[in-house]
Amino acid sequence: MVEAKKLAKRFPGDFLFGVATASFQIEGATKADGRKPSIWDAFSNMPGRVYQGHNGDIACDHYNRLEDDLDLIKSLGVGAYRFSIAWPRIIPEGTGPVNEKGLDFYDRLVDGLKARNIKAFATLYHWDLPLALMGDGGWTARSTAYAYQRYAKTVIARLGDRLDAVATFNEPWCSVWLSHLWGIHAPGERNMDAALRALHFTNLAHGLGVATVREEQPKLPVGIVINPMHVYAGSDSAEDKAAADRAFDFHNGVFFGPVFKGEYPESFLSALGNRMPAIEDGDMATISQKTDWWGVNYYTPMRVSNDPVEGAEYPATVSAKPVSDVKTDIGWEVFPQALGDLIRTVNARYQLPDCYITENGACYNMGVENGAVDDQPRLDYIADHLSVTADLIAEGYPMKGYFAWSLMDNFEWAEGYRMRFGIVHVDYETQVRTIKKSGHWYKELAGKFPKGNHKAE
């Protein structure tokens, strides 16, 4: 086992250790205090969409256990908490009246963090779009980007003076491709044209969000959280290498290109540009406004080969075999070096600001035995990826912090409650929280670093 004390010595004194969650995954209270349904409430209640019909109605009951959960975060010794804000609590219909009780909840959350000397890293959008906006097309409608802009303005006007950093979006790859092309996430579309519209309007909303944060709180560091794929070619063949390049553009370039260069990748536009929605004058300038930081969510590499089917739709790739036979309980290949390869690759291709690892963790489903959870594989996973992060810092990359995913076991989207990523175990019947072995180790590591002296730049 990697000693926390030894690993801590490889990080600068102002490195930020935190934990992360998302609103729909933990809050529950889906009908409380004026909240109205999100697309995930609807999706969860459609037969066959989520494992065994699980939903977010109760989740970890965080909405009703806020103070206890804030004490739990403090007990872990971390310097920051990354959470997301539920749009359906703030503007329940997506547009229209603002719900003060929803804002009050996040007021209590942020004030509670401040009182405990914990940095507040807020995410404005982590997939829970107000269901009412689906009447206009959801993310396939340009109007949703402007509804998002108003929502962002409402949140920042109320909370921005006490936040330490804000992200416009979490993992647009998921809310675009998984949600609109492959139908795995809400709203469950399986249509390339819908996905292309969601892609551009999500990117536009990000840019509008950045502008809104700047207007409301010019000193509040604003960024975006992306889950880029480090793409390995399945072989050294020219066909597979070309496939890997296309996969990079499709999975990464369509977000990094617009945000950090003001353009979509050439290979993507040549293949699918004629099916994109209208890109209006000023859109790309809006999308590519300077950000102060970006977040990387990393779990597993992507390995692809060329799709041999003639006329296969771009990016025309198929999955290639994993290199490592080590897998987490969700079936994802464990390959820590891909995190380093990824950071080096995207920094070589784009002019990127400071970086936080905003999610990293592993799914292992051990239960409580004799009052403890021995999740050694998760501990090893986190330690190995932190070791790679320390290597990147030594190489000069501006890695500023690490947020373990997740603070606690929670609603794991289409997987329901059967997959556990937490460093704290949750008994969903009793809502009892039990810090796992990995959580105790992480506490020892985070405890080596001073609190309250760090701000995203």
Write out the binding residues: 25, 126, 170, 299, 405, 412-413
Q: How far apart are CA 3 and CA 380, in angstroms?
A: 10
Other beta carbons within 10 angstroms of residue 358's beta carbon come to 29
Known binding positions for substrate: 25, 126, 170, 299, 405, 412-413
Three-state DSSP state, 329: coil
Bridge partners (DSSP) listed for residue 233: 304
- Judged on CB neighbours under 10 Å (0-12, 13-18, 19+), 286 is buried
What is the H or E stretch that residue 223 is in?
strand 222-226
Return the half-sphere exposure (C-beta side, CA atoms, 13 A cut-off) of residue 331: 3
Distances from the Cα of 317 to the Cα of 65, 163, 193, 251, 291, angstroms: 45, 41, 19, 12, 32
Residue 114: closest CA among 452, 456, 457, 455:
452
**Between helices 376-394 and 337-349, what is the axis angle to 10°?**
40
Bridge partners (DSSP) listed for residue 120: 81
Q: How far apart are CA 73 and CA 71, in angstroms?
A: 5
Chain centroid, CA 307 distance in Å: 29
**Does the CA dihedral 55-130-85-35 come out positive or negative?**
negative
Residue 268: closest CA among 177, 353, 185, 355:
177
Q: Are 235 and 265 in contact (CB under 8 A)?
A: no
Q: What are phi and psi of 403, to 5 degrees?
A: -115, 120
Q: How far apart are CA 220 and CA 214, in angstroms?
A: 7
Residue 213: closest CA among 259, 261, 270, 148:
148
Residue with tokens 């990080």: 11
The residues carrying an active-site annotation are 171, 359
The amino acid present at 90, given as its one-letter code, is: I
